[in-house]
DNA sequence: AACATAGTGTGTATCGGATACACATTGAAT
DNA sequence: ATTCAATGTGTATCCGATACACACTATGTT
């Protein structure tokens, strides 16, 4: 049983090199074909999905641990990552009870105890460029793939709640910080950006007013290129002015609605 | 050495009944005489101050642990308490290095290791009614008292940063949620409420516009009483409509500026 | 080659909340 | 009785947000 050996090695590594009682969970948002996506993992030999997560090494900052987790699941290095809530209830089982969950995971008793002990879990959400992601499962999971936010199944633990809260936080963030730098390709059209906003907020907006508002923020740079290929008038391409974008992120002062 | 025995008992209790690597810190805001206050603790036999904190029992929800901490320091039971950030850097020493901090705390080596081991710390902030608080130090501290937010000294660990971030979060919260229920006495005047807002936000506002805005939220009830005693026209007393106030807290939808 | 189509670029009228501002009133102090 | 400082209330104005219309163009169609 090579796999079981690997598992044991993992447990030992966790016990010796990582902080006990604390874990990290990541809600990784991507944007593709007008849909907001979340990256989920499927547990080995089951049909059950959950959020990617990880633990914090004893010699590692917590944010660094979250970045590492994300790197391992997506292959991406520079990502927008933000802590949104820390989950600390004793009972974090929702759709399945603790014993059901244990059974589903199908792990040896001692391993299971380690993997799903009572943890304080720090939730992060990430915004990534869909096209650049290489979804990669880990030792405990068979599959890693994108799910449409609207079609997420009943997840293990309290992970559905985590996604809901992450989305809520993301929506609020939209009202005082710019967004899109990590979700869109470098060059994009105004309709692309609008579609992103509409998808996240779940509502449609007036095309003309949206453009005025975005431009008023002063973080966009219109290029002399246009996007061709569509059977219509070709739209201008824009890109973010990184410097002003970062400044807006910090000050949080530019935005209102 | 009765004290040392008590300390040892504390350490054992922490080790056996509480989660390792996680702690809680509380920024407790009060409001008095037009000033925003924070409750701080002074370490035994030192001049060094820090935030009240605590640990999470193995059989206790994290929020419950925070409430318990607050109850122990203030005597208050029903308080507004909100998680605002989790601090996870390895090095959380700021004004004093780790060894300086160790020295300052003057604890036996083994005790110190337990008390200031590397922790992930979940930060909460609380809003309490100043007059009802009975500041109470704990086993490790000599003194518990209010400090003016503007005059907080260099604290142990990264606690100054915690206060700064808590205040920042509180200010932002003011833009989408009502505030005051836990900071003001049951009956208060419009100028009282305005002073609270001005103190938190650090800016002055127009008296008439402020009143219009507050009343437009529909969470205030004007009483038939007036406050007498001031050498001026006596202002009306108001109180919050608890039900509508709670609803506004939940929806977060009523407020804008 | 001319036309139809659907999406894009841009400008203007209007509404509504936020802001600026003024005058009458009152309770205590003198 | 008078004075003073703070309170109660109303109105004009500003500005961003919203609603809305027409011209333009790259492709697909005939």
The Cα A167–Cα A159 span in angstroms is 12
Bigger pLDDT: B214 vs A104: B214
Alpha helices in B116-201 (DSSP H): 159-173, 190-201
Query: What CA–CA distance (Å, rounded) separates B73 from B54?
Result: 10
Q: Please tell me whether residues B120 and B222 are part of one structural domain.
A: no
C-beta of residue B197 within 8 angstroms of C-beta of residue B174: yes
B181 domain residue, yes or no: no
- CA atoms of A188 and B43, how far apart (whole Å): 56
- Residue A131 located in a structural domain: yes
> What's the domain range around A213?
188-251
Please report the pLDDT score of residue A257 as a whole number. 45
Cβ of residue A206 lies below 7 Å from strand D: yes
Nearest-nucleotide field for B205 (CA, C1'): C19
Residue A254 has pLDDT above 60, yes or no: no
The answer to whether residue A181 is domain-embedded is no
Q: Is residue A256 part of a domain?
A: no
How long is the CA A237 to C1' C3 vector, in angstroms? 29
Q: Is the distance between the Cβ of A211 and the closest atom of strand C smaller than 7 Å?
A: yes
> Nearest CB to B88: which of A61, A85, A90?
A61
Which residue of B lies nearest to A84 if distances are taken between CA atoms?
B85
Q: Pick from A142, A173, A204: which residue ends a domain?
A: A173
pLDDT of A110 higher than 80: no
Q: Which segment of A11-15, A185-189, B94-98, B108-112 scores lowest on mean pLDDT?
A: B108-112
pLDDT score, position B253: 62
Q: How far apart are CA B160 and CA A121, in angstroms?
A: 24
- 3 state DSSP class of A238: strand
A79-CA/C8-C1' distance, Å: 32
Q: Give me the number of domains chain A comprises.
A: 2
End-of-domain residue from the set B116, B138, B173: B173
Asked whether the predicted pLDDT for residue A101 surpasses 60, the reply is yes
| B179 within a domain of the structure (yes/no) | no
Q: What does the pLDDT average to over B198-219? A: 95
For residue A154, give the DSSP letter: P
Q: Is the distance between the Cβ of B151 and the closest atom of strand C smaller than 7 Å?
A: no
Which of A59-62's residues contact partners 24+ apart within 8 Å by CB, and which partners? Answer: A59/B90, A60/B90, A61/B88, A61/B89, A61/B90, A62/A24, A62/A122, A62/B86, A62/B87, A62/B88, A62/B89, A62/B120
Do residues B159 and B78 share a domain? yes
Strand C nucleotides where any atom sits below 7 Å of a protein CB? 5-12, 17-22, 25-29
Show the DSSP H helices in chain B as ranges. Answer: 2-17, 62-74, 98-105, 109-115, 159-173, 190-201, 207-217, 242-251
| Rounded Cα–Cα distance for residues B106 and B142 (Å) | 13
Residue B188 makes CB contacts below 8 A (sequence gap 6+) with B180, B237, B238, B239
B183 domain-assigned? no
Q: Determine the Cα–Cα distance for residues B10 and B119; give it in Å rounded to an integer.
A: 17
pLDDT in tens, B38-84: 999 999 999 999 999 999 999 999 999 999 999 999 999 988 999 99
CA–C1' gap, A212 and C18, in angstroms: 21
- Show which residues on chain B lie within 8 Å of chain A, measured between beta carbons: 19-22, 56, 58-63, 65, 83, 85-90, 118, 120, 122, 172, 176, 252, 256
pLDDT for res A93: 94
Strand-pairing partners, residue A86, are A122
Structure tokens at A120: 């304080």
Answer with the one of B144, B173, B202 that is the final residue of a domain. B173
Contacts of A60 in chain B (CB under 8 A): 90
B88: tokens are 């996870």
The domain that holds B204 is classified in CATH as 1.10.10.10
- Specify whether the CB–CB gap between B67 and B26 falls below 8 A: no
Instruction: Give the max Cα distance, chain A.
Output: 63
Q: Is the pLDDT of residue A105 over 90?
A: no
Residue A229 — left, alpha, or beta (φ > 0 → left; ψ -120 to 50 → alpha)? left
Q: What is the mean pLDDT of chain A?
A: 92
Query: Is it the case that residue B124 has pLDDT exceeding 90?
Result: yes
Rounded-to-integer distance, Cα A231 and Cα B151, Å = 64
Distance from CA of A69 to the nearest CA of B (A): 15
């Amino acid at each position: 049983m090579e796999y079981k050996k690997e598992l044991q090695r993992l447990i030992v590594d966790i016990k010796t090199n990582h902080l006990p009682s604390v874990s990290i969970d990541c809600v990784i948002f991507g944007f593709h074909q007008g849909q907001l996506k979340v990256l989920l993992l499927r547990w080995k030999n089951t049909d059950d999905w959950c959020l990617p997560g990880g633990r914090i090494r004893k010699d590692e900052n917590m944010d660094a641990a979250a970045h590492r987790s994300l790197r391992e699941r997506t292959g991406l290095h520079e990502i927008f990552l933000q802590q949104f809530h820390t989950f600390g209830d004793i009972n974090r089982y929702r759709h399945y009870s603790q014993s059901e969950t244990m059974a589903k995971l199908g792990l040896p008793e001692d391993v299971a105890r380690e993997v799903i002990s009572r943890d304080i879990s720090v939730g992060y959400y990430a915004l990534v460029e869909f096209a650049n992601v290489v979804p990669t499962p880990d030792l405990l999971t068979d599959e890693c793939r994108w799910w449409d936010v609207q079609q997420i199944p009943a997840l293990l633990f309290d992970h559905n709640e985590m996604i809901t809260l992450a989305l809520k936080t993301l929506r609020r963030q939209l009202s005082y910080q710019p967004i899109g730098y990590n979700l869109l390709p470098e060059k994009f059209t105004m309709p692309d950006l609008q579609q992103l906003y509409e998808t996240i907020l779940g509502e449609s907006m007036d095309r003309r007013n949206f453009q005025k508002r975005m431009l008023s923020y002063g973080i966009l740079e219109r290029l002399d290129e246009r996007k061709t290929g569509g059977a219509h008038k070709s739209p201008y391409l824009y890109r973010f002015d990184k410097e002003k974008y970062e400044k807006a992120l910090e000050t949080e002062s530019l935005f209102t609605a």
